[in-house]
Amino acid sequence: MNPVTPLDTSTQHDQHGLWPQAESVEDFRRNIAVVQSRIAAACQRVGRDPAGVRLLPVSKTKPEATLRLAYAAGCRDFGENKPQEAYGKWEAMADLTDLRWSVIGHLQTNKAKLVARFAAEFQALDSLRLAEALDRRLQAEGRSLDVYVQVNTSMEDSKYGLNPDDVAPFLRALPAFSSLRVRGFMTLAMLSAEAARVRECFVRLRELRDRLRQTAPAGMALDELSMGMSGDYEIAIEEGATIVRVGQAIFGARSTPDAHYWPTAGAGEGEGR
Ligand SMILES: *Cc1c(COP(=O)(O)O)cnc(C)c1O
């Protein structure tokens, strides 16, 4: 188990790379139970009902066989960052009819077609061009999609997501895309060991949501806040997260550096694949 650090002073972002690999159904059961109990404890600290927090296991980079172990341990949702990797796993695991796939990473418009075909939700909506492309593909498939608007709350140039000031006009444009059901917001906090700086990002997203709720287009509920990952999900819950996206604390460390998913400053768009 990971060393427990006092949440008020530090995150577990420096623990990345230390989580042991889950290699059996039993490993998954234990890891999920640990995460669930920490979710419950975080909820208790702030007087929230743990039923109001959804745990989204993030399976990126892990092979199909490992996802099947997680499934046997009870996972029915999988979060994937890259649309092609997710699509491949969806095809390979089509025998498991109760799986829900959540795409949580940046999407190029030319991959909208893939996501429209299989995803249950998309958490990284950050442009109207992409909304238009997704809507057109979804209409063609006769499907609809739960979407989350990604907001850059860390103010780092390197992060994807809308600037908080641009979110209100963005929301006003979304009802034109009738196959997208806007559920709320998603953010990646600063990857810092300092809890206070990470917490600020989560507070910023919650306050933005609370403010925009009052002016949101009719029928747009904005109930959901997808924020928090292995290193910081307890802080996110204390600040109102309704979805936490947890990979390494359930699956084990990834060998792929996070920069592969979140381009670092100056690295450009980092597209590819
Ligand atoms: C990989 C990923 C996560 C999960 O990160 P962990 O450190 O494995 O918990 C959360 N959100 C997004 C967008 C990701 O790409």
pLDDT of residue 255: 81
Q: Out of 8-22, 51-65, 175-189, pick the least confident.
A: 8-22
Going by pLDDT thresholds of 50, 70 and 90, the confidence category of residue 64 is very high
The arithmetic mean of pLDDT across residues 39-59, rounded, is 98
Check pocket membership of 206 for ligand 1, CB cut-off 6 A.
Answer: no
Residue 264 belongs to a domain: no
- DSSP for 35-65? HHHHHHHHHHHTT--GGG-EEEEB-TT--HH
Check pocket membership of 248 for ligand 1, CB cut-off 6 A.
Answer: yes
Residue 8 belongs to a domain: no
Rounded to whole angstroms, the Cα distance separating 85 from 186 reads: 21
Residue 266 belongs to a domain: no
Q: Out of 8-17, 50-59, 107-116, pick the least confident.
A: 8-17
CATH number of the domain within which 178 lies: 3.20.20.10
Residue 161 belongs to a domain: yes
Number of domains in the chain: 1
| pLDDT tens-place string over residues 148-173 | 999 999 988 777 999 999 999 999 99
Q: Which atom of ligand 1 is nearest to the CA of 248?
A: 8
Q: Let me know: does 102 contact 125? Beta carbons within 8 Å.
A: no
Check pocket membership of 230 for ligand 1, CB cut-off 6 A.
Answer: yes
Q: Out of 56-60, 185-189, 192-196, 221-225, pick the least confident.
A: 192-196
Going by pLDDT thresholds of 50, 70 and 90, the confidence category of residue 4 is very low
Check pocket membership of 240 for ligand 1, CB cut-off 6 A.
Answer: no
Residue 84 belongs to a domain: yes
Q: Which of 58, 251, 256 to mutate to test the pocket of ligand 1 (most atoms within 8 A of CB)?
A: 58
Q: Whose CA is nearest to atom 11 of ligand 1?
A: 245
Residue 81 belongs to a domain: yes
The arithmetic mean of pLDDT across residues 132-156, rounded, is 96
Q: Which atom of ligand 1 is nearest to the CA of 105?
A: 13
% of the chain residues with pLDDT over 70 = 91
Q: Out of 15-24, 55-64, 145-154, pick the least confident.
A: 15-24
Residue 128 belongs to a domain: yes
Q: Which of 56, 75, 104 to mutate to test the pocket of ligand 1 (most atoms within 8 A of CB)?
A: 104
Range of the domain at 87: 25-255
Q: Which residues of 230-241 are buried (b: 16+ CB within 10 A; e: fewer)?
A: bbbbbbbbbbbb
pLDDT of residue 2: 45
Check pocket membership of 247 for ligand 1, CB cut-off 6 A.
Answer: yes
pLDDT of residue 9: 62
Rounded to whole angstroms, the Cα distance separating 93 from 135 reads: 25
Residue 238 belongs to a domain: yes
Rounded to the nearest angstrom, the distance between the alpha carbon of 249 and the centre of ligand 1 is 10
* Element at 146 (helix H, strand E): strand 145-150
Tokens in use for 169? 């006009």
